């Protein structure tokens, strides 16, 4: 699976990444080739998906058994590689952190992305949940049925939400950071929960940019604890990778995966796979994520041959800033890209 956090790793925006050379990637699916001493519950030949603390973009991956899960019979390998990060993140935020219940409302940014689509599907399992989503305008037709109210990512979504729900929303899920932090807090109802789970506004060009960092953090509203107390609001953060690999909560995540796989088997949720890419195409695949061109998850397939370049295809990495990302430049990758129907 290819995630936005992989772009942040590449740019050096992650605290204490492994020293280079390193193999990126945090989730994968495949077939068990060998077992460690004393490993129970799995056999050679089992179809599995797994979390990995780096090194997932490889033909052979080694990871502790607590991070490995059997793939349901009806799920293919592409869906399995798209499942763990997105759905566990969405489930944990909605049900473990924000305590989503019947009749609540949720605002999610990047509604067309992997986590955004997982959030929308999980919200549909609870009666009368209203989902507000922001996404690039060219994605609206494809995802309009997955959210209740859809807004352009460049529009004034605060006013749009308040026009529909004057007192705001119960849950805000923010993967953008920057100025959206203050906007999200302003939209919270009393007892509402704002959750920051990413900072994609800090990713701009090919390399780490001090200016983009400074701009993003300068725009973050300084949180006043007294104001939180007076307004009855909750602010939280969520990092699945830290929970798994630094805070040793693999057992908790296994329980969540069991619940998610039950939902999958009952056909209530299904991972959305945007496209498959060969390992040689990782640069173009990451560019598609950078430009917010994907609907659902991008997958690196070790068995896939690279797609031949189109005559007008450009493999140059964009240096566009956040304001310039949402342009027709996405079409070059979309034309080359092998869509999953």
Q: Is a pLDDT exceeding 90 seen at residue 20?
A: no
With beta carbons less than 8 A apart as the criterion, state whether 130 and 165 touch: yes
d(CA 110, CA 224): 27
pLDDT interval class at 312 (50, 70, 90): very low
pLDDT interval class at 199 (50, 70, 90): low
d(CA 36, CA 320): 46
Q: Take residue 125 and report the two structure tokens written for it.
A: 């399992």
What DSSP designation does 38 have? T
Region of poorest pLDDT, from 42-51, 57-66, 223-232, 267-276: 223-232
pLDDT digits (tens, 9 = 90+) for 152-176: 988 899 999 999 999 999 999 998 8
Q: Take residue 132 and report the two structure tokens written for it.
A: 């507000």
Burial 204-235, CB ≥16 within 10 A → b, else e: beeeebeebeebbeeebeeeeeeeeeeeebeb
CA 341 to chain centre: 21
CA 335 to chain centre: 23
DSSP, collapsed to helix, strand or coil, labels residue 171 as strand
Average pLDDT over residues 56-81: 96
pLDDT digits (tens, 9 = 90+) for 289-308: 888 888 999 999 999 988 87
CATH code for the structural domain at 4-209+218-300: 3.40.50.720
pLDDT digits (tens, 9 = 90+) for 72-129: 999 999 999 999 999 999 999 999 999 999 999 999 998 998 999 999 999 999 999 9
pLDDT of residue 309: 61
d(CA 155, CA 137): 10
* Distance between first and last Cα of the chain: 18
pLDDT of residue 148: 95
The candidate with the shortest Cα–Cα distance to 237, out of 341, 89, 340, is 89
Domain boundaries, the chain: 4-209+218-300
Single pTM value for the model:
0.85
């Amino acid at each position: 699976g290819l995630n936005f956090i992989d772009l942040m790793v590449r740019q050096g925006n992650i605290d204490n990444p492994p020293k280079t050379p390193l193999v990126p990637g945090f989730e994968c699916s495949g077939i068990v080739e060998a077992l460690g001493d004393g490993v129970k519950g799995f056999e050679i030949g089992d179809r599995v998906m797994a979390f990995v603390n780096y090194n997932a973009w490889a033909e052979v991956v080694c990871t502790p058994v607590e991070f490995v899960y059997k793939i349901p019979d009806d799920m293919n390998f592409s869906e399995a590689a798209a499942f763990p990060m997105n759905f566990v993140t969405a489930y944990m935020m909605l049900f473990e952190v924000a305590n989503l219940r019947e009749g609540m409302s949720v605002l999610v940014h990047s509604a067309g992305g992997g986590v955004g689509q997982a959030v929308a599907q999980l919200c549909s399992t609870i009666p009368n949940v209203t989902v507000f989503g922001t996404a690039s305008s060219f994605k609206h037709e494809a995802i309009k049925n997955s959210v209740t109210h859809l807004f352009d990512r460049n529009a004034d979504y605060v006013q749009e939400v308040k026009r529909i729900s004057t007192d705001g929303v119960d849950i805000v899920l923010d993967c953008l950071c920057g100025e959206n932090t203050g906007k999200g807090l302003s939209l919270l109802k009393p007892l509402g929960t704002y959750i920051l789970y990413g900072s994609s506004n800090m990713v701009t060009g090919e390399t780490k940019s001090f200016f983009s960092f400074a701009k993003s953090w300068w725009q973050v509203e300084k949180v006043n604890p007294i104001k939180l107390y007076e307004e009855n609001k909750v602010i939280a953060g969520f990092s699945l990778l830290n929970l798994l690999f630094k805070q040793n909560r693999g057992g908790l995540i296994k329980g969540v995966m069991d619940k998610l796989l039950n939902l999958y088997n009952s056909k209530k949720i299904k991972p959305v796979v945007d496209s498959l890419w060969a390992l040689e195409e990782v640069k173009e695949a990451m560019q598609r994520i950078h430009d917010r061109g994907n609907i659902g998850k991008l997958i690196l397939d070790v068995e896939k041959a690279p797609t031949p370049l189109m005559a007008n295809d450009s493999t140059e990495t964009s240096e566009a800033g956040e304001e310039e990302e949402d342009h027709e430049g996405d079409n070059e990758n979309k034309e080359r890209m092998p869509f999953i129907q």
